[in-house]
Structure 1
């Protein structure tokens, strides 16, 4: 019988070649690109329309001087913030009975007014539902205050001009540095999470077909069960690596093209704490360990299923598990993580993503060695448990052996 590692290599090569050289692998590569491109297109087309739909519209019923003063004040505040930071104001010519006009405006379906602002600068009146106080009333108060201040300055015949703030540019600031590094951590964690959700969940259904056509029995008779699980893990990791290389190359070319069109490549002035080269290497390594950890767990769970229907039932809890692990990891990023940080580092399934955040915030490298050894140990344990459960509950053959007997792993012999 072949040794454990030799058998794992044979299984991995068999699955890798069978998957990569199939026609469906092209669809596997194209599907995420089509989804991302379609999502970007739809989000870009609907961004402005959605922002306009969510912005409250307030009817401004006042005399021409008051209307002009309020509109000018809003323009000044919007220039320093954004158009969506304040409600849209739509001037309406006052009627003879303003009270009746306000009621009509609020009932006007075509006008779609959230509130009506009437009166003067000295006595403004905002009419509308109570929920308008949460955004509309507070922002309009700032607009009216600005208009009153400018009116007071103009009445005193004083010239008020905006004074530009002198800028002294420094290399970095502690607060800005931590904020950017936290963003790098979130980006790395999100990347690992999204790719793992996309790829590792496929391992749930890996053994279903082979169990149905009895191929697994032939493999189990020829090689150790541990090598079957390891081989399939390595094969799926290699397949996902091919996908990442293709997607990353396309994304890199698109990014370079967009930067060349604008000027040239703009890299961030701030780097992660360990530096960009080490950070990129750690993201790749932690992606591999994260994939192996969750993949070995999903492979073990999927090995217990007997049909595709059972796999579909399992998929939802598995996806929720991944989401919970991701939330634990991103909430543990930062110097104030406390016990949540330790929990994210020690829980094997969140450890890779949590350590990506640690690499972004701290320049210490020795904790990564400990974390990788910890994660690799759990990969071995999960594979052993999965293979023993599969042998006992599905194959129903032979003695499952000792769970902690790792002589075969160390020597590469049959298990």
Structure 2
């Protein structure tokens, strides 16, 4: 019996593996991994936005805005540099420097100290003295904003013609090759006595940009108001820049909700790969079963083996095809991560934590195989009940919808960090158990739930094989219209 089952499984595997669609599907992920970096390189668009400042009130306001934008850019570099240093354990490069502190947010004073100590250039020089030769060099994040010079004719344009002067800068002609300016800020001569300024934005402005402008402009208005009321210039300036020094404490990098998301990457990817490979390999098996019935090949096969041997062999062959696809995709993903290193490699290190233990690996393998057996059995029965792919669609479409729709909700719930009753309920519904358990490995799932839901899944698969096996045997040599739901229920009760 075992020999016959393995012969059928090997034949099923070879039959599916010989199709073009199998190899095209198998190569989709490697091709995406290879073309992804190239595509992003050629189609990547800079996120740096350009800013033009027109200060007709004397120039001090534009200078203050420039200073604030530069401070914010240096703050972004400082935060990113501190993460890099923490990630690679490089604090000994400059123990007393601002960028070696274990922090996630830096105030203006920290930024000023960073710039006064030489900024990024000095930090790179200190890191280079202790970093290994093959270590990845630090790359600063792309600037958020860039100040562009203001044309003389625009700077001196009267209010009546300023819109006309700015039109070709904000929306240049397609053939000119000139990039549009993202923001133009006009501080009119009467600023101070009047709080009105004008901002032209080439699209919806960033909230961070508007917030930074409001802070600077509010300080300037306060300074000028105090000066106009007889307060000394130095006192007015000092009063306008008084602000609370907020000490922000945040979880270490890779903890909190960020940690849950990173740890959920591989478990969710496993659940998604299981879903896709199940649908693909199941559809190939279904199509093969339909062709065997239509070509009357099934009668010849049943002359040599029993219906049970045929059913078990097809299930094992389909599981083998699915696992071969998964192993290939995982191997390609690991190779791509190793080859690219850098950010991808750093991301994968914490992402591997949920699957680094023997128990986690055993859990993934068990629910992968169990999920394949459960869903493949449904596809196999649909195949033997259908005379053509059109007949099969009547069963197949609702089955796929029932499986996939809750899976989308599962992804959203886990990524949002909410979890909740929906995810826990799906863990105990056998049809969704493999996907729910795999998806929850990153956020954490109690051991008793894994064991309990696994036991329920095994019991369901045993009952499924028994009941749907009766439907399978009853329809192997049947002909005519596809059976109704009532007829299928009757086959389950009677057996064959």
Residue number in structure 2 paired with 1:294:
375
**Secondary structure of 2:268's match?**
helix
| 1:144 matches 2:216 | no
Partners of 1:392 and 1:112 lie apart in 2 by 70
- 1:299/1:114 CA distance change after superposition, 3 Å: farther
Given that 1:118 and 1:124 are in contact with CA atoms closer than 8 Å, whether structure 2 keeps it comes out as no
Partners of 1:95 and 1:309 lie apart in 2 by 73
Given that 2:281 and 2:321 are in contact with CA atoms closer than 8 Å, whether structure 1 keeps it comes out as no
Partners of 1:277 and 1:246 lie apart in 2 by 21
| 1:344 matches 2:412 | no
Aligned ranges 1:120-159 → 2 under 5 Å: 122=192, 123-127=195-199, 135-136=204-205, 138-148=207-217
Partners of 1:266 and 1:300 lie apart in 2 by 40
Given that 1:7 and 1:227 are in contact with CA atoms closer than 8 Å, whether structure 2 keeps it comes out as yes
| 1:102 matches 2:154 | no
How far did 1:352 drift?
0.8
How far did 1:12 drift?
1.1
Residue number in structure 2 paired with 1:327:
408
Mark the runs of 5 or more structure 1 residues left unpaired by the alignment: 407-414
CA deviation string 1:102-127 (max 9, x = no partner): 25535753164566432257535345
Partners of 2:343 and 2:410 lie apart in 1 by 37
Residue number in structure 2 paired with 1:66:
61
Greater CA drift, 117-126 or 208-217: 117-126
How far did 1:59 drift?
5.0
**Secondary structure of 2:171's match?**
coil
Match of 1:284 among 350, 365, 370: 365
Residue number in structure 1 paired with 2:70:
75
Given that 1:106 and 1:128 are in contact with CA atoms closer than 8 Å, whether structure 2 keeps it comes out as no
- 1:6/1:381 CA distance change after superposition, 3 Å: farther
**Secondary structure of 2:197's match?**
strand
| 1:205 matches 2:273 | no
Tell me how large the CA RMSD over aligned residues is.
Answer: 4.8
Given that 1:62 and 1:119 are in contact with CA atoms closer than 8 Å, whether structure 2 keeps it comes out as yes
CA deviation string 1:15-47 (max 9, x = no partner): 12444578886555434322442344324432x
Structure 1-normalised TM-score? 0.72
Aligned ranges 1:351-370 → 2 under 5 Å: 351-362=433-444, 364-370=446-452
How far did 1:241 drift?
2.0
Given that 1:300 and 1:383 are in contact with CA atoms closer than 8 Å, whether structure 2 keeps it comes out as no
Partners of 2:277 and 2:430 lie apart in 1 by 18
Partners of 2:443 and 2:183 lie apart in 1 by 46
Greater CA drift, 167-176 or 98-107: 167-176
CA deviation string 1:279-327 (max 9, x = no partner): 2222222222222222222333344443356667887766554431322
**Secondary structure of 1:267's match?**
helix
Partners of 1:310 and 1:103 lie apart in 2 by 66
Aligned ranges 1:245-256 → 2 under 5 Å: 245-256=327-338
**Secondary structure of 2:492's match?**
coil
How far did 1:233 drift?
2.0
How far did 1:91 drift?
4.9
Residue number in structure 2 paired with 1:409:
none
- 1:25/1:361 CA distance change after superposition, 3 Å: closer
Residue number in structure 1 paired with 2:129:
none
- 1:193/1:291 CA distance change after superposition, 3 Å: same
Q: Whose RCO is larger (CA < 8 A, sep 6+)? A: 1
Given that 1:59 and 1:116 are in contact with CA atoms closer than 8 Å, whether structure 2 keeps it comes out as yes
Larger Rg: 2
| 1:403 matches 2:471 | no
Greater CA drift, 182-191 or 336-345: 182-191
CA deviation string 1:61-103 (max 9, x = no partner): 3345433432332232234348889676655332432343225
Given that 1:182 and 1:360 are in contact with CA atoms closer than 8 Å, whether structure 2 keeps it comes out as yes
Given that 2:266 and 2:351 are in contact with CA atoms closer than 8 Å, whether structure 1 keeps it comes out as no
Given that 1:225 and 1:387 are in contact with CA atoms closer than 8 Å, whether structure 2 keeps it comes out as no
Given that 2:371 and 2:434 are in contact with CA atoms closer than 8 Å, whether structure 1 keeps it comes out as yes
CA deviation string 1:205-253 (max 9, x = no partner): 2312212211123334544444433322210211222233333334333
Partners of 1:176 and 1:262 lie apart in 2 by 16
Structure 2-normalised TM-score? 0.62
Given that 1:61 and 1:118 are in contact with CA atoms closer than 8 Å, whether structure 2 keeps it comes out as yes
Greater CA drift, 388-397 or 338-347: 388-397
- 1:396/1:23 CA distance change after superposition, 3 Å: closer
Mark the runs of 5 or more structure 2 residues left unpaired by the alignment: 78-140, 173-178, 224-232, 480-486
Given that 2:10 and 2:317 are in contact with CA atoms closer than 8 Å, whether structure 1 keeps it comes out as yes
Aligned residues: 395
Partners of 1:318 and 1:225 lie apart in 2 by 24
- 1:248/1:204 CA distance change after superposition, 3 Å: same
How far did 1:340 drift?
0.7
